[in-house]
């Protein structure tokens, strides 16, 4: 009986749970090949033109339609990494309907393609002990709502053991979500791998939802200090002193990281901004009358750092930020690498930061 039942289940494996969903067997897309080429396919018999756009391309590429109405393109020789991409169908940008992996974001809808390459990258699922990512609801008094945040606990984490952990607060970019650092940035896997290699110490990583629209972004500092940190300290075995607390973030989240970190040097020993906003001229103006006790700050911060790519549209402004801090005598580290304002770079920035924390 069981075998036949299994056979029926096999036949039905492609059955969708929704009646409106197409029942035809969909094409494989993306299909990543051993030579690091990838084939992208999109079914649109009536479309006039379909392009592929993706962060592994300099510019969007026209796809070709076959007799069955499937548009296809093969992209050769992609540098191993995880990239956002989408199709532009008669001017409308759509995610790949045959790809489960979606770029977690509030606005644009990109899919993700994982070109693994022959050597596992720092963000790959490797044969190492894995931490957990827990989705928590918490009450925010600052924002008067219930919000979600994600908590990475490292392999071997035991909520009741005597051991207490340092904490990194990790902030997404503007219009990203609390899931972007794990689903796009692979933060949990990067931590798993670096901890397994003993390059990073076991730590807890807290990934809040940082968009406070329509309330001002200003509220995010209150949210971190008055709601998120107390929630984590009430619910996890964490070290609560300044040397064991870090903050890092990307883009608007890099600006938030600077705001929170600079406003609270008594609370954060590590502050890492990845291609941070805000734009520099205004930032310099703000800081024109800022007269930090640089010597004190330099003692308080174990790490104050900037990471940016030379093709990032915030490269010039980040350089100017760094000059300003230099003029004021605030020490910092910098990581200047190729690449743009991308999550490929974010993964690199995080993998570079984690080994510097809590040592």
| Residues from 17 through 56 that contact a second copy (CB under 8 A) | 17-22, 26, 44, 46-47, 53, 55
Q: How far is the CB of 357 from a second copy (least distance, A)?
A: 23
Cβ 332 vs Cβ 304: under 8 Å? yes
Tokens of 319: 């350089």
Q: How far is the CB of 80 from a second copy (least distance, A)?
A: 19
Piece in contact with a second copy (CB under 8 A), picked from 74-82, 247-255, 301-309, 349-357 = 247-255
Q: Is residue 146 involved in binding a second copy (CB under 8 A)?
A: yes
Residues 154-213 that bind a second copy (CB under 8 A): 158-160, 172-177, 180, 182, 211-213
Piece in contact with a second copy (CB under 8 A), picked from 7-15, 29-37, 301-309, 321-329 = 7-15
Residues 207-246 that bind a second copy (CB under 8 A): 211-213, 216-218, 220-221
Per DSSP bridges, beta strands 245-250 and 270-274 are: parallel
76 versus 216: smaller Cβ distance to a second copy? 216
39 versus 57: smaller Cβ distance to a second copy? 57
d(CA 248, CA 169): 6
- Give backbone dihedrals phi and psi of 92, rounded to 5 degrees, phi first: -100, 125
Per DSSP bridges, beta strands 245-250 and 167-171 are: parallel
Short-list 54, 179, 177, 192, CA closest to 121: 192
Cβ 250 vs Cβ 173: under 8 Å? yes
Residues 126-145 that bind a second copy (CB under 8 A): 130, 132-137
Q: How far is the CB of 142 from a second copy (least distance, A)?
A: 13
Q: How far is the CB of 359 from a second copy (least distance, A)?
A: 26
CA distance between the termini of the chain:
60
104 versus 358: smaller Cβ distance to a second copy? 104
The burial class, CB within 10 Å (0-12 / 13-18 / 19+), for 109 is: middle
Q: How many residues bind a second copy (CB under 8 A)?
A: 96
Q: How far is the CB of 3 from a second copy (least distance, A)?
A: 8
Rule CB under 8 A: choose which of 2, 58, 198, 359 binds a second copy.
Answer: 2
Rule CB under 8 A: choose which of 123, 245, 341, 347 binds a second copy.
Answer: 341
d(CA 348, CA 243): 24
- Where do the DSSP E strands lie in the chain? 31-32, 38-43, 50-54, 61-62, 64-65, 70-75, 81-89, 92-94, 111-115, 132-140, 145-153, 167-171, 204-208, 245-250, 270-274, 303-309, 333-337
Residues 62-121 that bind a second copy (CB under 8 A): 84, 89-95, 97-98, 100, 102, 105-110
Q: How far is the CB of 328 from a second copy (least distance, A)?
A: 12
250 versus 358: smaller Cβ distance to a second copy? 250
CA 111 to chain centre: 14
Q: How far is the CB of 35 from a second copy (least distance, A)?
A: 21
Whole-angstrom CA distances from 239 to 119, 162, 184, 297, 330 are: 36, 11, 28, 21, 26
Q: How far is the CB of 217 from a second copy (least distance, A)?
A: 4
Residues 253-312 that bind a second copy (CB under 8 A): 253, 255-256, 259, 263, 277-279, 282-283, 285-287, 289-290
Dihedral over Cα of 347, 154, 125, 122: its sign? positive
102 versus 337: smaller Cβ distance to a second copy? 102
């Amino acid at each position: 009986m069981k075998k036949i039942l299994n056979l029926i289940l096999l036949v039905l494996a492609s059955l969708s749970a929704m009646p409106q969903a197409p029942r035809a067997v969909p094409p494989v897309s993306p299909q990543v090949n051993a030579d690091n080429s990838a084939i992208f396919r999109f079914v649109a018999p009536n479309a006039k033109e379909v392009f592929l756009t993706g962060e592994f391309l300099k510019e969007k590429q026209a796809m070709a339609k076959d007799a069955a109405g499937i548009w296809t393109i093969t992209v050769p020789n992609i540098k191993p990494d995880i990239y956002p991409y989408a199709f532009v169908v008669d001017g409308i940008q759509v995610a790949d309907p045959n790809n489960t992996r979606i770029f977690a974001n509030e606005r644009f809808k990109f899919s993700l393609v994982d070109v693994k390459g022959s050597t596992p990258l720092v963000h790959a699922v490797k044969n190492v002990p894995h931490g957990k990512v827990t989705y928590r609801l918490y009450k925010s008094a600052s924002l008067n709502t219930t919000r979600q945040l994600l908590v990475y606990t490292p392999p071997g984490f035991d909520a009741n053991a005597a051991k207490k952990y340092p904490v990194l607060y990790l902030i997404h970019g503007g219009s990203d979500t609390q899931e972007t650092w794990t689903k796009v940035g692979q933060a949990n896997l990067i931590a798993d791998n670096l901890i397994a290699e003993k390059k990073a110490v076991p730590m807890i990583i807290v990934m809040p939802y940082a968009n406070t629209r329509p309330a001002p972004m200003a509220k995010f500092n209150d949210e971190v200090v008055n709601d998120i940190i107390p929630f984590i300290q009430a619910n996890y075995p964490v070290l609560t002193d300044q040397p064991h607390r870090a903050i890092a973030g990307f883009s608007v989240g890099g600006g938030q990281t600077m705001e929170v970190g600079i406003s609270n040097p008594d609370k954060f020993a590590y502050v890492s901004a990845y291609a941070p906003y805000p734009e520099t001229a205004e930032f310099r103006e703000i800081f024109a009358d800022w007269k930090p006790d640089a010597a004190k700050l330099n003692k308080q911060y174990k790490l104050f750092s900037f990471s940016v790519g030379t093709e990032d549209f915030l490269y010039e402004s980040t350089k100017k930020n760094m000059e300003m801090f230099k003029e004021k005598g605030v020490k910092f580290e910098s990581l200047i690498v190729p690449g743009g304002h991308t999550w490929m770079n974010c993964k690199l920035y995080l993998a570079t930061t984690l080994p510097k924390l809590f040592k």
